[in-house]
Amino acid sequence: MGDTSHEARTAERGLRGRDRSHVGIAPRMSRDPGRSAFDLTPTGSSVPPRIAPAPVDRASSAVVVDHSPDRATPKNLRIQALHARVLKRATDIAAAIPLCVVFALAYPFIAVALKATSRGPVLFRQIRVGRNGGPAPIYKFRSMVADAEGRLEADPELYRQYVENGFKIPATVDPRITKVGRVLRRTSLDELPQAICLLLGTMSLVGPRPVLPDEVGVLYGDDAPYYYACKPGLTGLWQVSGRSNVTDRERADLDVAYATDWTLLNDVRILIRTVPVVLSAHGAH
Q: Where are the domains of the chain?
A: 78-280
Confidence of residue 225 (pLDDT cuts 50, 70, 90): very high
Q: Which tens digit of pLDDT belongs to each residue from 23-57?
A: 333 333 333 434 444 444 333 433 333 333 333 34
How many Å apart are CA 267 and CA 207, to the nearest integer?
9
pTM value is 0.70
Question: What's the one-letter identity of residue 122?
Answer: V
What do you get for the CA distance between the two ends of the chain, in Å? 31
Max Cα–Cα distance, the chain, nearest Å: 56
State the DSSP code for 143: -
Judge contact between 225 and 218, C-beta under 8 A: no
Judge contact between 81 and 260, C-beta under 8 A: no
H/E run at residue 25:
none
Judge contact between 138 and 128, C-beta under 8 A: yes
| 226 has a pLDDT exceeding 80 | yes
Question: What's the one-letter identity of residue 129?
Answer: V
Q: Which tens digit of pLDDT belongs to each residue from 81-114?
A: 999 999 999 999 999 999 999 999 999 999 999 9
| Main-chain phi, psi angles of 229, to 5 degrees | -75, -15
What is the per-residue burial (b if ≥16 Cβ within 10 Å, else e) of 182-196?
A: bebbeebbbbbbbbb
Q: Which tens digit of pLDDT belongs to each residue from 232-248?
A: 999 999 889 877 678 88
What is the per-residue burial (b if ≥16 Cβ within 10 Å, else e) of 160-173?
A: ebbbebbbebebee
| Main-chain phi, psi angles of 67, to 5 degrees | -100, 20
Q: Which tens digit of pLDDT belongs to each residue from 134-181?
A: 999 999 999 999 888 889 989 898 888 888 887 878 777 889 999 999
How many Å apart are CA 178 and CA 47, to the nearest integer?
38
Confidence of residue 66 (pLDDT cuts 50, 70, 90): very low
Determine what percent of the chain is predicted with pLDDT higher than 70: 72
Mean residue pLDDT across the chain: 78
pLDDT at site 53: 36
